[in-house]
Amino acid sequence: MVVVSKAIIRLADVSFSYEGAEERALQGVSFTVEKGEFLSIIGHNGSGKSTLAKLLNGLLLPSEGKIEVNGIPTADDAHIWEVRKVVGMVFQNPDNQFVAPTVEDDIAFGMENIGVPPVDMEARIQDALEQVNMTGFRTAEPNRLSGGQKQRVAIAGALAIQPAVLVLDEATAMLDPRGRKEVLEVVQRMNREAGMTVIQITHYLEETLDSDRIIVMDGGRLVGEGTPESVYQQVDWLRRLGLDVPFACDLQYRLQQKGFRFSTLKMTGEGVLDSLWTSD
Ligand code: ADP
Ligand code: MG
């Protein structure tokens, strides 16, 4: 029987050094991302998360090792636009993401780059702006928008490309809690309903609780990987890496220190409370 792999991204022993830097920003990183997966990447500042994101769509190329997107090596110059079509990217700082004088032109520019037929653009712009609640800003000048609005437009631009994989590198950091929740709901819906693969890098750990898998980075290395339950059980280890844990996991951990016993890790405050009453 032929086993067909569903991996959409594959990293094999990837290392990366910035020019002139003494230490490697990434060291021997290997993992695969399955089609349709919702993956979160966590790690403290400088652990290599943004470098990793830029390697995923060929903005940076591995110094050693190999990355394949849909079987295409990112180092293959001739096919780099196919890689960019598959992997959409939104970064933390929206200010350097705009090239056109209006929101709609900016979204159209991104689509032109990957060869979306002009007849499809209108509907895609409308749809993408609806997803992020920004339809009223079609003809606005991107640079005059607030930080949060800019970031919504950047996300709309990425959605309009209809990438199979969306990488969000601290993309909601500029938004207020409500804005962050809305954007997370949009990408969760696209993941669930359209099968879009999502790779989110975030330091808001609460936003990782519904992920299929979490990858933990430290000092340029992948140091941990697993379900949210298995990762957030390791409270002492995460703290040693300079990371916190979500509220409910911390609460449960503290109660355990005081002698309470739980059969499973709860991911919500309600879950912790319920199991206290039922001695689960
Ligand atoms: P994170 O996103 O997890 O904060 P980065 O990928 O930005 O981590 O950084 C990883 C390492 O690479 C850090 O040591 C950082 O100082 C270094 N680094 C990042 N960008 C550059 C750059 N443009 N030139 C040189 N070193 C860099
Ligand atoms: Mg970063």
SS (H, E, C) the chain: CCCCCCEEEEEEEEEECCCCCCCCCEEEEEEEEECCCEEEEECCCCCCHHHHHHHHCCCCCCCEEEEEECCEECCCHHHHHHHHHHEEEECCCHHHHCCCCCHHHHHHHHHHHCCCCHHHHHHHHHHHHHHCCCHHHCCCCHHHCCHHHHHHHHHHHHHHCCCCEEEEECCCCCCCHHHHHHHHHHHHHHHHHHCCEEEEECCCHHHHCCCCEEEEEECCEEEEEECHHHHHCCHHHHHHCCCCCCHHHHHHHHHHHCCCCCCCCCCCHHHHHHHHHCCC
Residue of 51, 56, 89 to test ligand 1 pocket, by largest number of atoms within 8 Å of CB: 51
Q: How close is the Cα of 46 to the center of ligand 1, in Å?
A: 5
For 247-271, the pLDDT digits (tens) are 888 888 888 888 888 877 777 888 8
Domain boundaries, the chain: 34-56+77-228
Closest residue CA from atom 10 of ligand 1? 48
Residue of 22, 50, 169 to test ligand 1 pocket, by largest number of atoms within 8 Å of CB: 50
Classify domain 34-56+77-228 by CATH number.
3.40.50.300
Confidence of residue 4 (pLDDT cuts 50, 70, 90): low
Does the pTM surpass 0.85? The reply is yes
Closest residue CA from atom 25 of ligand 1? 18
Q: What angle do CA 40, 45, 50 make, to 5 degrees?
A: 55
Tokens of 35: 């089609």
Q: What angle do CA 91, 87, 187 make, to 5 degrees?
A: 65
For 63-113, the pLDDT digits (tens) are 999 999 999 999 999 999 899 999 999 998 767 778 899 999 999 999 998
Residue 156 pLDDT greater than 90, yes or no: yes
Residue 3 pLDDT greater than 90, yes or no: no
For 169-221, the pLDDT digits (tens) are 999 888 888 888 888 888 999 999 999 999 999 999 999 999 999 999 999 99
Q: Which of 54-58, 79-83, 125-129, 148-152 has the lowest mean pLDDT?
A: 148-152
Ligand 1 binding pocket, CB closer than 6 Å: 18, 21, 25, 43, 45-51
